[in-house]
Structure 1
Amino acid sequence: MKGLIQRVTRASVSVDGETIASIDLGLLLLLGVERKDTPHEVDALLHKITRYRVFPDDQGRMNRSLEDCGGSLLVVPQFTLAADTGSGTRPGFSDAAAPDLARALVAEFVLKAEGELGQGRVVQGEFGADMKVALVNDGPVTFLLSV
């Protein structure tokens, strides 16, 4: 399981011209699920993301986590993160989870994130949809996390 997090001052997801999710201060998470992933990877990545210190403290150092700053989390399913880009000029997707598994693990991730961060602090894109993601990357601060 891979998660690309971006610290944002705002982010949103639109489908067919309609905004379906948006946040202000927080993290935009592009979430990639691989075939080998299980609920164990969900727990491990969620633990890492909610505690990863990417927000500035009073001295401007990245010492505060999403939990610490009270920010929101926008989860966007992103199967292309599971791509094999090791050779050639076309990505391979043999390591990506099948849609049913990916959908279930993304749903579990969101449910557990809501339980950990609180209702109203977690929103999500639409699995399998052609989404348009808009964001203001703060910093810019971007990290690729994997478990």
Structure 2
Amino acid sequence: MRFVVTGGAGFIGSSLVERLIKEGNEVIVIDNLHTGSLYNLKNLNIKFVKGDAGEIDKIIDPIDGIFHLGIPSSSPMYKKKRELIYKAIEDWIKILEYATKNKIKIVLASTSSIYNGNPVPWREDMQIIPTDFYTEVRYAMERIAKVYNDLYGTKVVALRLFSVY
């Protein structure tokens, strides 16, 4: 199978890329290298596209799935540069449009921060009250994915990742 991994040069993304390659898949990485590094991908047989996640339409090869990890990854980043809110949502919509048009399934990297303020253990049915831009962007992406599924049948799974180290 052939997969696109946005943010594939980052910590989580490069681990995913390595696993996909080991399982015999072809991988195309899209990464702007803002926080990722080509060093994380050394010795891996991949196709690399330097750019933002929203540039997915540059991919002309047929693909079987998209892993979207190419999203600004911390609350301070959004607090410092609020235009990242718009950019993250814009890139996400471009990915959804591409996936909808080509009938491709997506795995979205969301965040466990969505549960902040709730007592542990956390559960999916808990109330979500975003308290920062980072969390709101990830939650908005989940909600937009739900609308795309309802309207167009776009298949998206959002993983609310916890401590990944």
TM-score (norm 1): 0.41
TM-score (norm 2): 0.37
